[in-house]
Structure 1
Amino acid sequence: MYQIVTDSCCDVPYQLLAEKDVAFIPMIVNINGQEYFDDLGKSFDYEQFLQSLRDKQQPTTSQINVGRYIEFFMPYCEKGEAILYLCFTSGMSGSYNSALQAVDILKEDYPEANIQVVDTLAASMGEGFIVLEAAKRKQAGASMEEVMAWVNEHKMNLQSWVTVDDLSHLYRGGRLSRSQAAMGGLLNIKPIIHVDAKGTLQNVGKVRGRNKALQKVVDETVDHLVSKENQTVYVAYSGDLEAAEKVMGLLKEKIDVQDSGIFPLGPTIASHTGLGCIAIFTFGQERVD
């Protein structure tokens, strides 16, 4: 008996995680000095959050600390139930290292505890994609070791292609200088971003105009597939469902999409992307640095 666990950076709605028997630990979002749990829509007021972005407020986020991991994992240790924790990429957060520290501390009191922490090297529905595939295999009868082996074997094939509409958030995150963000805004420049093999965001291109940016992330997604047949595709968005639907439509014109989903970016991720972010997730070619 084992429990698959993830965190709210996976951006999978809580109802779907419950259906798949996946537990999750929330990240924390701070808006105007008030802390909220990113609980994947269970109680978090997402519309109010989007309005805060429209009002040019600047939410901040906190990684999961060692104490919260201990508190979350301990009931499983007390029951003797194994845990497979599929974690938000270490390339964007220290949560992975905090989880490892928590496991070491718990094993002092529960030496037989079986807690496996896997760095997905992915974010948003990229992490969520891996989580859902893991849950599918568990429900089909795979052991924890088999599921963990599958994740480690395939996570580097998870492709994530992203564009953002508001460069100020990339400036806040240190990915653009103030002058680059200002000039990009004036010239209507949109960055093309990829999650690399280290699980970090890399600016890999830029185009002028929103429509060209949407087309570019579609093209990059298609170009990095191994096959155009029988694909599963997820699109995540922050505040622009119309753009997400457009992107999905463009993808379906180019590849055979057998399964798909369009999901809002959760507040933890959207706090760093701002409004208008569009991200596409598929399994394809192996990621490189």
Structure 2
Amino acid sequence: MFQIVTDSCCDLPYQVLEEYQVAFIPMIVEMDGKEYFDDLGKSFDYGAFIQSLRDKKQPTTSQINVGRYVEFFKPYCEKQESVLYLCFTSGMSGSYNSALQAVAILQEDYPNAQIEVVDTLNASLGEGVLVYGAAKRQAAGDDLPTVRKWVEDHRLKVQSWVTVDDLSHLYRGGRLSRSQAAMGGLLNIKPIIHVDAKGSLQNVGKVRGRNKALQKIVDETMENLTSTEDQLVFVAHSEDLAAAEKVLEMLKEKIDVTDSAIYPLGPTIASHTGLGCIAIFTFGKERVD
């Protein structure tokens, strides 16, 4: 038996993780000078967070440091329980390297400890679909090496297609210049973003208008599928459930969706995208860029 662990950047609700007995370590979100643990909806005040975005505030996030990882993993070492940690992409955070350092520290005192850290190279429900798939395989009886191999074989097959409605957060996060954000707002420009092979966000296009942006991320999702049969589709949104439902229905009209879910975008990612972000996650062609 082994324990699957992830972090709150997977954006799966805590109820789903509890169902599959997946443990998680929360990220930290700072609002109005106070720090809060993102515990995937268990106690985090998501309504207050959303209001802060409506008020044009800029919540900040911080990576998980070495000390918090040591504290989190230590009980598993003491129980001699094996751990498979599926981590938020190293392309957007230093948490992965912090986790590796923590494991090295713990193995000085617990040389037989088995804590395996996997860089998912994905974020939000891109990370989430890997955690979900890993948990289902564990529940079916697969051992740790088999589950780890499945994750490593599929992490670059996760397709993530994203559009953002509010350019001000991309400007504040350094992904757009002030002039780009201002001009984009005037012209109703919506960026098209995906996660590359290094697990980093890349602006790969732009269209004018919200409806065209939603259609574009659906088209890109379709273009990068390897099959239209037996598909899993997860959709994340930040306060635009109607748009999330719309893109899922658009996909269901074209492909055989056998497993799907719509979940709110977690505060760690939404702090950088603002309100109105829509993201589609599927398995498809391997990312090579």
TM-score, length-scaled by structure 1: 0.99
Specify the code of the residue in structure 1 equivalent to 2:94.
G
- Aligned-pair distance for 1:171? 1.2
What's 1:258 paired with? 258
Q: Which residue of 1 aligns with 2:139?
A: 139
Letter in 1 for 2:3: Q
Partner of residue 73, structure 2: 73
Partner of 2:245 in structure 1?
A: 245
Measure how far apart 1:254 and its partner are: 1.3
- Equivalent in the alignment of 1:276: 276
Q: What is residue 172 of structure 2 aligned with on the other side? A: 172
Match of 2:44 in 1: 44
**Unaligned stretches of 5+ in structure 2?**
none
Alignment-mate amino acid for residue 211 of structure 1: N
Within 2, Cα distance between the matches of 1:56 and 1:173? Answer: 13
Per-residue CA shift, 1:149-195, capped at 9, x if unaligned? 11111111000000000111111222111111111011100000010
Q: How does 1:1-150 map to 2 (within 5 A)?
A: 1-150=1-150
Gap regions ≥5 residues in structure 1:
none
Structure 1: distance between partners of 2:244 and 2:201? 20
| CA drift at 1:20 | 0.5
Q: Deviations over 1:216-273 (max 9, x none)?
A: 0000001100001111100000011111011111111111111100000011111011
165-174 vs 129-138, which moves further: 165-174
Give the aligned CA root-mean-square deviation in angstroms. 0.6
Residue identity opposite 2:286 in structure 1: E
Letter in 2 for 1:163: T
SS at match of 2:253: helix
Aligned to 2:184: 184
2-side partners of 1:257 and 1:15: how far apart? Answer: 23
Q: 1: distance between equivalents of 2:165 and 2:106? A: 43
Matches within 5 A, 1:191-206: 191-206=191-206
Percent identity reads 78
SS of alignment partner, residue 68 of structure 1: helix
Q: Given residue 256 of structure 1, which amino acid in structure 2 is its aligned partner?
A: D
Deviation of 1:3 (Å): 0.3
Give the count of matched residue pairs. 289
